[in-house]
Each structure stands twice: as structure tokens, then as C-alpha cells.
Amino acid sequence: MKKAPVLISSVAGLLAGALLTLLAVYSLLPALERRGGNEEEGGSGITNAELTAAAMDAAGYLKSGDFEALSEAVHPDFGLILSPFATVNLKSNLSFTARQVRDLGENGEKLVWGVLADSGEPISMTASEYMARYVMDRDYTSAPVVSVDYMLRVGNSRENVTDIFPGAHYVDLCYPGTPEADNSDWSILRMVFEEYGGELKLAALIHSEATI
């Protein structure tokens, strides 16, 4: 009868130790791996017009190369993720803090932004080269079609933006393709926005286009 309190105390001690271990491991995980987005989805009151205006502002900064202005729009906690393809991969896609975005235009270092799906070759480019190919490959400030939280075109790459950024909003600036190319020359610059302190902050720039 006297052993019962000791047993209960030992079990409680083991459970407490296990809980502390789990908390310690969790705290070491990269913030992006447990991205929560806006938990109050649909209750924010953000309008499509506000999202479209934020996307157009960001596209304007990109077109003019005004990275300082762009950095002020970037999410302060998560930074900015850049994905050359519709499938976002938090482990391989590059992410930049707002301060790093500010200096991105002056960075002449070649970085690996991902791998080509057809050849497996690394996408090794400077920031300027990457922006020209996978961000502003077209003038998206003049995109003929704009959609909010709706995918206008889908290619062979898996579309996982809603899985990676639950509760966030995204704006597609889209060139839908031309009849001469059987509409296979479409491309999209997808901008992901999350709320922070009552403001829309840019969380990701995703490039999507027709692939063979």
C-alpha cells in the first residue's frame, strides 16, 4: 500500500520530463515548418480590392527594382519565400527576411533557388537573374486577368499554396495564354499575403507557368 504514492510520483515525473522534451524539440523546429497563417480564416474583413491593390503595389516595386519599398511590405516574422514553381517547398525554397529583401538587388552572389523539373539541374542564378526569369518574366503590373484566392490556371506542378499557407490569401496576376499557342503560353505571378498587425504582409512570390 505504501508503494502506490511512489509509483504515481514516478509516472508523473516521467510524463513531465517527456512533455519538457517535446517542448524543447518543438522550439527548435524552423518557424516556417509550423506556419499557421491567419487562424480566423474568412473573418478578417479583408476585401478583394485591398488584396488586389497590395499585389499591384508589390508588382510595381518589383518592376521598378525598388527593393526597399518591397521590404516594407514583407512579413516581419516569416520573411519572403520565393518559389520558381507552383509547388512550394519550405525546405528547399529560399526565404529572405525583410532586411535581406531590401538588399536583394545589390546581391550579385549566385544562389540555388531550386531544381529544374525536367533535367534536375540546379537553378543557379543571381537575385537579379532570378527575378527576371521567375518573378517579373512579364510585366505583371499589366496582367490582363487578376484573381483572388482562385487558381486561374493549373499546370503539371502540384498546387499546394493553401496547404503551406493555411488561412492566408493569394492573388494571381495572370497572362492566360494566346490562341496562337493553344493557350499553352500562360504564366502567373502568385503573391501570398498574410495579416500582421491588421495589415497585409507579403509572404511569398510563386511563379507558375505551363510545363511540358
Asked if residues 63 and 79 have their Cβ atoms less than 8 Å apart, the reply is no
Q: What is the pLDDT of residue 26?
A: 30
Q: What is the pLDDT of residue 212?
A: 62
Cα–Cα distance for residue pair 5/9, rounded to 1 Å: 6
Q: What is the pLDDT of residue 125?
A: 96
Q: Which CATH class is domain 38-209?
A: alpha beta
Taking alpha carbons only, the member of 42, 59, 85 closest to residue 195 is 42
Collect the ranges in the chain with pLDDT lower than 50.
Answer: 1-43
| 31-50: pLDDT as tens digits | 333 344 443 444 468 999 99
Cell numbers of 160, please?
499546394
Cell numbers of 79, please?
520573411
Residue 184: its H or E element: none
Q: What is the pLDDT of residue 33?
A: 39
User: Strand 199-209 relative to strand 80-83: parallel, antiparallel, unpaired?
Assistant: parallel
Q: What is the pLDDT of residue 156?
A: 74
Q: What is the pLDDT of residue 120?
A: 82
**Integer Rg of the chain from CA:** 21
Q: What is the pLDDT of residue 44?
A: 64
Q: What is the pLDDT of residue 22?
A: 34
The domain segmentation of the chain, as residue ranges, is 1-34, 38-209
Taking alpha carbons only, the member of 56, 34, 36, 54 closest to residue 46 is 54
